[in-house]
C-alpha cells in the first residue's frame, strides 16, 4: 500500500490521516506535541463545526464527542446601536436568531486533537513527535509517495508562496482574544437553546459567544475580535489568565451590556482557558518545491488561512481533508505529480475555499449599506434570518444575494414583497 507522510496534526491533518489509515494506507503523522501535552496545554482555537463538517467526521466514525457536546441549534446576529451602553433591546439596531437546519457543535481542540492522536496511534499509525522542518521533509520526500503539510504555523508554512491575487490583506484585520468559561447564564430575552451569538459593534469589533465541550465538560467561549487600534485591541501583553478574563468582561460591559448581563458569574474553565493573538488572512500557492526538487501539497490552514470572524477555520479544514481524501483514493497507484496536486486543491478551492474566503474578507471590511439592510430585514423576516444563518454551513450560498446591491435588492423584494 502507498506510503503518505502528513506534517501537522490539527483538524485537517488528523482527519485526513485517520481517513487514509482506515483505507489501509501506510500513514506517518508528525506532531510537535504529544496527546497529553495538548490536553494539559492552552486552548488552541475557537471552533464551531456546522452540519457539513460534522458529517465528514461522522462518515469516518470520528464523532467521538457528539453525545456530550452541546448542540448549537441556532445562530444569532446583533448589531449594536451607536453609543449604546444600555442592556435593553432598544439599544440594539439589529437583533435576530436564525435556526440551523442541522445542529452545529464545538469541541475544544485540546479534547479532539488529543483524542484523535491517541486513536491514530492505537490503530497502528506511525506517530512521530517532532516539529517538522524543511530539512525533514526534504529527506522524507524520497521515502514517501506523497508528502502533505497540514500545519498553519512555523517554517513549513513559508514553503508556500503567498498568492497576492487571492490575498487582499497584508496585515491582521482583527486582534483576537478568547476565554473559555463556566457560569455563563442564558440570554434573558431569547430562547433557551444552544446558539452562537455574533454581535457586531461598528468601529470596535465583534463579540462571539458559543457553547462548547472542553476538558472540564460543558462550557462557553467568549471571543472578542477587535479592530486594530480600537478599544478592544487591548490584549497584547496580557499574560495572566485572570486579567485576560477581567478585561474581556470589562469590554463586554462597555460595548455589549446585554451579553455582559449573563456573564457576571463567569469563571475560567482552567488556567489554560485563554488565547490571544492576531494574523493576516492569506491564501498561498498550494504546491511547494523542496530544496532537492521534491513537491509537497498544502492542506487546510497551511494554504488557506481566514480570520475566525465567520467561524470557518475548522469547517474549511474538515472540508479540505474530505476533498483530499476522496482525491487520493480515486487516484489509485498513479503518481502524485504537480498536476494532480493542483487539481486536488482546485477541487477544494472552487466550492469551499473561494466562497469562504470572499465572505470572510467581506465581513472584515466596513459593511456596505445593502448588507446592513439585509441584516436588518432578517429581524422581521424569519426566512431571511434562516438563510443567512445556514450560510455559515455553506458560504457559497452568499454568492447569490450578499455581495451585489442589485442581487440583495432582488432577494429582499422576493421575501418582503417590496
CATH number reported for the structural domain that contains residue 81 in this entry? 3.30.9.40
**Claim to verify: residue 100 and residue 116 sit in the same structural domain:** no
Which pLDDT value is given to residue 418? 66
**Claim to verify: residue 125 and residue 57 sit in the same structural domain:** yes
**Claim to verify: residue 141 and residue 52 sit in the same structural domain:** yes
**Claim to verify: residue 242 and residue 254 sit in the same structural domain:** yes
Which pLDDT value is given to residue 154? 85
**Claim to verify: residue 220 and residue 253 sit in the same structural domain:** yes
Range of the domain at 390: 367-416
What pTM, to 2 d.p., does this model score? 0.96
How far, CA to CA in Å, does 2 sit from each of 70, 143, 145, 241, 295? 39, 11, 6, 46, 16
Which pLDDT value is given to residue 5? 98
How far, CA to CA in Å, does 266 sit from each of 269, 369, 416? 9, 36, 41
Residue 261 grid cell:
448581563
**Claim to verify: residue 138 and residue 202 sit in the same structural domain:** no
Q: Terminus-to-terminus CA distance in the chain, angstroms?
A: 62
**Claim to verify: residue 179 and residue 265 sit in the same structural domain:** yes
Q: Of 277, 303, 318, which one is at a domain's C-terminal end?
A: 277
**Claim to verify: residue 54 and residue 158 sit in the same structural domain:** yes
Which pLDDT value is given to residue 191? 66
**Claim to verify: residue 316 and residue 198 sit in the same structural domain:** no
**Claim to verify: residue 345 and residue 307 sit in the same structural domain:** yes
DSSP state of 86: -
**CB 86: neighbour CB atoms within 10 A?**
12
Question: Which among 128, 141, 152 has a CA at the least distance from the CA of 290?
Answer: 141
CA atoms within 13 A on the CB side of 45: 27
DSSP state of 59: H
Handedness of CA 53, 59, 65, 69 (dihedral sign): positive
**Claim to verify: residue 50 and residue 141 sit in the same structural domain:** yes
Q: Of 211, 243, 277, which one is at a domain's C-terminal end?
A: 277
DSSP string covering 200-234: EETTTEEEEEEEEEETTEEEEEEEEEEPTTSTT--
pLDDT in 10s for each residue of the chain, 418 residues: 799 999 999 999 999 999 999 999 999 999 999 999 999 999 999 999 999 999 999 999 999 999 999 999 999 999 998 765 544 444 789 999 999 999 999 999 999 999 999 999 999 999 999 999 999 999 999 999 999 999 988 899 999 999 999 999 999 999 999 999 999 998 877 666 799 999 999 999 999 999 999 999 999 999 999 999 999 999 999 999 999 999 999 999 999 999 999 999 999 999 999 999 999 999 999 999 999 999 999 999 999 999 999 999 999 999 999 999 999 999 999 999 999 999 999 999 999 999 999 999 999 999 999 999 999 999 999 999 999 999 999 999 999 999 999 999 999 999 997 6
Give the Cα separation of 365 and 367 in Å (integer). Answer: 6
Which pLDDT value is given to residue 81? 87
**Overall number of domains in the chain:** 3
Domain CATH for 122: 3.50.50.60
Which pLDDT value is given to residue 152? 83
Q: Of 363, 379, 403, which one is at a domain's C-terminal end?
A: 363
Give the Cα separation of 114 and 10 in Å (integer). Answer: 10
**Claim to verify: residue 119 and residue 164 sit in the same structural domain:** yes
Amino acid at each position: 500500500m502507498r506510503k503518505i507522510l502528513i506534517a501537522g496534526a490539527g483538524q485537517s491533518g488528523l482527519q485526513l490521516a485517520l481517513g487514509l489509515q482506515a483505507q489501509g494506507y501506510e500513514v506517518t503523522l508528525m506532531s510537535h506535541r504529544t496527546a497529553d501535552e495538548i490536553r494539559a496545554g492552552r486552548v488552541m482555537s475557537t471552533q464551531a463545526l456546522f452540519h457539513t463538517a460534522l458529517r465528514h467526521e461522522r462518515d469516518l466514525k470520528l464523532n467521538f464527542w457528539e453525545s456530550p457536546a452541546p448542540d448549537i441549534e441556532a445562530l444569532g446576529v446583533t448589531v449594536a446601536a451607536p453609543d449604546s451602553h444600555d442592556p435593553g433591546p432598544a439599544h440594539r439596531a439589529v437583533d435576530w436568531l436564525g435556526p440551523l437546519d442541522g445542529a452545529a457543535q464545538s469541541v475544544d481542540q485540546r479534547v479532539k486533537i488529543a483524542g484523535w492522536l491517541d486513536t491514530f496511534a492505537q490503530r497502528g499509525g506511525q506517530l512521530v513527535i517532532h516539529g517538522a522542518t524543511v530539512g525533514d521533509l526534504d529527506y522524507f520526500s524520497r521515502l514517501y509517495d506523497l508528502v502533505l503539510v497540514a500545519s498553519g504555523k512555523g517554517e513549513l508554512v513559508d514553503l508556500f508562496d503567498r498568492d497576492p491575487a487571492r490575498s487582499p490583506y497584508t496585515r491582521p484585520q482583527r486582534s483576537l482574544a478568547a476565554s473559555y468559561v463556566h457560569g455563563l447564564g442564558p440570554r434573558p430575552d431569547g430562547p433557551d437553546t444552544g446558539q452562537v451569538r455574533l454581535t457586531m459593534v461598528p468601529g470596535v469589533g465583534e463579540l462571539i459567544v458559543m457553547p462548547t465541550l472542553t476538558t472540564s465538560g460543558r462550557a462557553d467561549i467568549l471571543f472578542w475580535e477587535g479592530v486594530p487600534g480600537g478599544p478592544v485591541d487591548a490584549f497584547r501583553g496580557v499574560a495572566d489568565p485572570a486579567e485576560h478574563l477581567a478585561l474581556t468582561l470589562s469590554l463586554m460591559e462597555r460595548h455589549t451590556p446585554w451579553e455582559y448581563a449573563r456573564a457576571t458569574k463567569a469563571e475560567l474553565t482552567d488556567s489554560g482557558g485563554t488565547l490571544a493573538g492576531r494574523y493576516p488572512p492569506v491564501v498561498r500557492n498550494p504546491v511547494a518545491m523542496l530544496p532537492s526538487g521534491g513537491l509537497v501539497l498544502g492542506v487546510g490552514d497551511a494554504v488557506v488561512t481566514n480570520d475566525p470572524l465567520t467561524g470557518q477555520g475548522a469547517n474549511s479544514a474538515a472540508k479540505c481533508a474530505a476533498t483530499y481524501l476522496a482525491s487520493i483514493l480515486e487516484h489509485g497507484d498513479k503518481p502524485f505529480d504537480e498536476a494532480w496536486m493542483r487539481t486536488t486543491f482546485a477541487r477544494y478551492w472552487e466550492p469551499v475555499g473561494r466562497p469562504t474566503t470572499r465572505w470572510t474578507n467581506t465581513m472584515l471590511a466596513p459593511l456596505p449599506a445593502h448588507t446592513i439592510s439585509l441584516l436588518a430585514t432578517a429581524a422581521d423576516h424569519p426566512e431571511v434570518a434562516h438563510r443567512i444563518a445556514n450560510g455559515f454551513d455553506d458560504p457559497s450560498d452568499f454568492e447569490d444575494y450578499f455581495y451585489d446591491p442589485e442581487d440583495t435588492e432582488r432577494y429582499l423584494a422576493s421575501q418582503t414583497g417590496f
